[in-house]
Amino acid sequence: MTRGPASEFERLLNDSLDGSLSPEDAAALERAITSDPDCAKQAEAQHEIDERLRRLFDPPECPGLEAAPVKRHLTGWGRFVAVAAGILLIVGVAYISWPASDGPGYAPPPSAGELHQAQLDAGFRPLWICEDEAEFREYTQLRLGIALRVEPTPGVELVGWTTRGGRYGMPGEQILLARVDGQPVVVLVSRGQIGPEPRDLPSEQIRPKRRQVDEIVLWELGPGESAAVIGGFEVAPVPESPNSPRMPSSEDGDEREQGASLGGSPQ
């Protein structure tokens, strides 16, 4: 999978976010970000997540009260747990605070055409590229908790994954960029239905098509009434380890009997 999160880079990035980076490490981090586009994307995404967490968890300013300085130092599992908690809280707040369709301040959810255009405006560039089926299975297992594969279909090209420009622009929804006969198609992928469904406007050429595979909800945003990409999605079979025990079959019994009849002893 094409991305650039080396363990040393992640350590430097975490120390930078915690404010504990030495001048030498700061220079090394700057070199990594300027020389590696994948590192730059990861740093930008992590800063966005930290900013969301800061807005959620930092106490409000109170005039006349001086807060004691608190150093937030989260690394490894600590940062992972904080990010996960922040994501869950953001999802919950978004769900609870989404205005009712007949309430004041209601804004309709984005349409299929608007979501599709957002990816075109961003250059239709993925953040992660899976080079083969094994990497696709690994990515979906890591991001969605269920390993998936896509049956190869003539005319369908899987470009790569991103998490930007979706219905909420946060890491609960994965976005697969694809091309069908050269035309850009966007697939929203989530575990369960999150947020409102993309609006289907008859006046738009881009129409939403829905399919569910196990717990995975798929929305294909592309021209026409029929889906071209999501029909090939399926839960990926677990690859069998070469050292895993194999259940004996009837053929094994026939081989043992044949060996005994030829003078050999059955094993």
**Which residues does 254 contact at the CB level (< 8 Å), separation at least 6?**
none
Q: What is the largest CA-CA distance in the chain?
A: 97
Both tokens of 246, joined, read: 């194999």
pLDDT tens sequence across 11-41: 787 777 767 778 888 888 888 888 888 788 7
Separation of CA 165 from chain center: 13
Q: Rounded mean pLDDT of 127-141?
A: 93
Residue ranges of domains in the chain, CATH in brackets: 7-97 (no CATH), 112-235 (3.30.200)
pLDDT tens sequence across 171-230: 568 999 999 999 999 999 999 877 778 999 988 999 999 999 999 999 999 998 899 999
Q: How far is CA 227 from CA 74, 88, 99, 111, 124, in A?
A: 43, 31, 31, 17, 19
Q: Rounded mean pLDDT of 237-264?
A: 54
CA dist 93 and 211 (Å) reads 26
pLDDT value, residue 167:
63
Contact 87, 172 (CB under 8 A): yes
